[in-house]
Structure 1
Amino acid sequence: MYRRRTSQTVLCALESQAAVVLLGPRQVGKTTLALEIAGQRPSVYLDLERDADRQILTEPDLYLDEQVGKLVILDEVQQMPDLFKNLRGQIDMRRRKGARTGQFLLLGSASNVLLHQSAESLAGRVRYIEMPPLLLDEVGPERLNDLWLRGGFPDSFQADSDRDSLIWREDFLRTYLERDIPALGLRIPAATLRRFWTMLAHAQGGLLNAAALAEGLGVSGQTVGRYLDLLVDLMLVRRLQPWHENVGKRLVKSPKVFVRDSGLVHALLNLSSMESVLGHPVVGGSWEGFCIETLIASAPTGTEPFFYRTAAGAELDLVLRLPGDDIWAIEIKRTTAPKVSRGFHLAVDDIKADRKMLVYAGEREVPAGDGLRAMPLAAAVGQLRNL
Structure 2
Amino acid sequence: MKITTRIPLNYIWRNLLTRRLTTVLTAGGMALVVFVFTAVQMLEAGLKATLVQTGQPDNVIIIRAASETEVQSSLDTAQSHILETLPHIARGPGGVSMLSKESLVLISLIKKDTGGPSNVTIRGTRALGLSLRPQVQLIEGRMFRPGSNEIIVGRSIANGFEGVGLGQTLNFARRDWQVVGVFDAGKTAFNSEVWGDAEQMQQAFRRTLYSSVIAQLDSAAAFDTVKQAIADDPRLTVEVKREQQFYADQSKMLAAFISILGTVLSVIFSIGAVIGAMITMYGAVASRTAEIGTLRAIGFSRLNILIAFLGESLLLSLLGGLVGLAAASFMQLVSISTMNWQTFAELAFAFRLTPGIAVGSILFALAMGFFGGVLPAWRAARLNIVEAVRSA
- TM-score above 0.5: no
Greater CA radius of gyration, 1 or 2? 2
TM-score between both structures, scaled by the size of structure 2: 0.19
TM-score by length of 1: 0.19
Identify the structure with the greater helix proportion: 2
Which has the bigger relative contact order, CA under 8 A and spacing at least 6? 2
